[in-house]
Amino acid sequence: MSLSREAIVEGLQRIVGPEAVVTDEKVLVESSVDNFRKLQNIFDVHTLPVPAAVVLPADAAQVAGILTWANENGVNVIPKTGGTATEGGLESAVPDSVIIDGSAMNKVISVDPYNMQATAQCGVPLQALEDRVREHGLTTGHSPQSKPVAHMGGLVATRSIGQFSTLYGGIEDMVVGLEAVFPNGETCRIKNVPRRAAGPDIRHIVVGNEGALCFITEVTVKLFPYFPENNVFLGWTLKDMKTGFEVLRDVMVNGYKPSVARVYDPGDAGVHFSHFAEPDDCVLLFMAEGAATVAKATADGIQAIVDQHPECTQVPSKYIETWFNDLCWGPDKILAEDERIRQTRNVNRTTEISADWSTINDIYQTAKARILDEIPDITMMGGHSSHSYINGTNMYFNYFFNVVGVGPEAETEKYYLPIISIICEETLKRGGSIVHHHGMGKARAPWVKDEYGSSYYMLETLKKAFDPKGIMNKGTIFPI
């Protein structure tokens, strides 16, 4: 028999004390959604089950206590840290869920400049960790746009990626060790070592689990020397994305490691670069960084590659630097964007996928054409590639639409999900991945079997082994 809301609150209070259990109705209602159904919070119209409580554990022992209790009583838990999720990972899919909010576990445990690694609790905002390591002339190398507001636990749980990924990699390349608690209360610390070959690399069971297998309590990441004075910015305009993808590929396959390598299509360039780009211009840009000799050699090599493409017209590097300096989203920008949506009912959404060099342009062209043809009320449909690899790149579709004829609660069903469906279909058809870095959440969970194919057996087996009672974030990664 399932516990009543009162029994859930009492059970939690016994584990963490009454002051660490939030039952304020407004907080609970707003916690039923994340950015995936953000219009529900912007317009204060809610349709999802209201969670029973938000609980703020102080340490891993309290997390273990909460999970053991939830597991014994069949209570669905939703791990949370920064709350910037975009794919419904924080949505309460079933009534009387408990949100385990790790934001009170916010200590930087150690910064070790000799071994070039830092350890932080899950609730440390990335910006706070970055500020701490900068005092030593170091950087984490991780710079997602949500850096001021996203926390270490969530960043690891979603397999996040930052603007400098082409040099430093995604979070999966940065995590050297971590601590996580499983639903039966088992607390596991994976030690910090430079490399291991002692069987499978079990860090990757935890990285990207989106709260569907375990709760991450502590993370150790690599550190790198910070040389902002050596940064070189390079930018060009050009008339088609196919050439842009070709240039990105040339740079990657020739072994260059710029920290930033991007190409924007005309629609998206209009959003970011209207101060110099013509309406039909694509924008190609790079940033080289590191020790002075490395940054210069990287920039010179990229310049030589792009010089072989006369269809690219170079722009002053200060244009790119100005854009770059205003890239992160703190609370002010987020609130201003919410207000813009409230006033205009014009919504901006994004969906990111990845594919190899042979197919990325086809996915981009076909998905864009279909969305413009099949979805009503689009006011801008565009995108950019922002994370490149030796064997392919990502596409970050960026689109705006006016919400017409439905309320804020139906926006997702009328516009957002049909758009995501088109992007997923066109990506899967060509063998790409339907999620590059925002996580599956609940938004893309319906495609999980198509994404994994025959390897779904391995994913499903992990869920059955670690969360046999299915209490971890129901509906996330694994659809209900």
Ligand X SMILES: Cc1cc2nc3c(=O)[nH]c(=O)nc-3n(C[C@H](O)[C@H](O)[C@H](O)COP(=O)(O)OP(=O)(O)OC[C@H]3O[C@@H](n4cnc5c(N)ncnc54)[C@H](O)[C@@H]3O)c2cc1C
Q: Which residues bind ligand X (CB under 6 A)?
A: 35, 78-86, 89-90, 102, 122, 144-146, 150-151, 153-155, 157-158, 160-161, 210-211, 215-216, 329, 334, 437-439, 473, 476
Give the integer Cα–Cα distance in Å for 276 and 334.
Answer: 25
359 contacts: CB under 8 Å, gap ≥ 6 = 430, 431, 432
The residue among 232 and 440 lying less far from ligand X, judged by its C-beta, is: 440
CA dihedral of 381, 393, 436, 256, whole degrees rounded to 10: -130
The residue among 299 and 444 lying less far from ligand X, judged by its C-beta, is: 444
Dihedral angle sign, alpha carbons of residues 434, 437, 443, 446: positive
Q: Which tokens belong to 139?
A: 């950087």
The residue among 91 and 281 lying less far from ligand X, judged by its C-beta, is: 91
To ligand X, the closest distance from the beta carbon of 67 in angstroms equals 11
To ligand X, the closest distance from the beta carbon of 64 in angstroms equals 13
The residue among 140 and 473 lying less far from ligand X, judged by its C-beta, is: 473
Nearest to 212 by CA among 480, 479, 478, 472: 472
The residue among 161 and 315 lying less far from ligand X, judged by its C-beta, is: 161
To ligand X, the closest distance from the beta carbon of 333 in angstroms equals 7
Residues in the chain: 480
To ligand X, the closest distance from the beta carbon of 210 in angstroms equals 4
The residue among 85 and 118 lying less far from ligand X, judged by its C-beta, is: 85
Q: Which tokens belong to 203?
A: 């860090």
To ligand X, the closest distance from the beta carbon of 240 in angstroms equals 26
Q: What are phi and psi of 405, to 5 degrees?
A: 80, 0
Give the integer Cα–Cα distance in Å for 385 and 353.
Answer: 10
Residue 139: helix, strand or coil by DSSP?
A: strand
Q: List alpha helices for 17-170, DSSP H.
A: 25-30, 38-42, 60-73, 126-134, 152-157, 165-168
Q: Which residue is nearest to ligand X (CB)?
A: 154
Bridge partners (DSSP) of residue 382 are 398
The residue among 7 and 104 lying less far from ligand X, judged by its C-beta, is: 104
The residue among 28 and 305 lying less far from ligand X, judged by its C-beta, is: 28
The residue among 79 and 432 lying less far from ligand X, judged by its C-beta, is: 79
CA of 212: how far to CAs of 2, 169, 391, 418, 480, in Å? 20, 24, 30, 25, 12
Give the integer Cα–Cα distance in Å for 13 and 10.
Answer: 5
Give the integer Cα–Cα distance in Å for 125 and 127.
Answer: 5
The residue among 9 and 122 lying less far from ligand X, judged by its C-beta, is: 122
Q: Which tokens belong to 466?
A: 């670690």
61 contacts: CB under 8 Å, gap ≥ 6 = 187
To ligand X, the closest distance from the beta carbon of 15 in angstroms equals 17
To ligand X, the closest distance from the beta carbon of 376 in angstroms equals 25
51 touches 97 (CB < 8 A): yes
The residue type at 107: K
Residue 201: helix, strand or coil by DSSP?
A: coil
The C-alpha R_g of the chain, in whole angstroms, comes to: 22
Nearest to 437 by CA among 75, 173, 69: 173
Nearest to 232 by CA among 131, 316, 139, 170: 316
To ligand X, the closest distance from the beta carbon of 87 in angstroms equals 8
To ligand X, the closest distance from the beta carbon of 171 in angstroms equals 8
To ligand X, the closest distance from the beta carbon of 359 in angstroms equals 22
To ligand X, the closest distance from the beta carbon of 330 in angstroms equals 9
The residue among 207 and 424 lying less far from ligand X, judged by its C-beta, is: 207
Neighbour count for residue 233 (Cβ, 10 Å): 21
The residue among 67 and 305 lying less far from ligand X, judged by its C-beta, is: 67
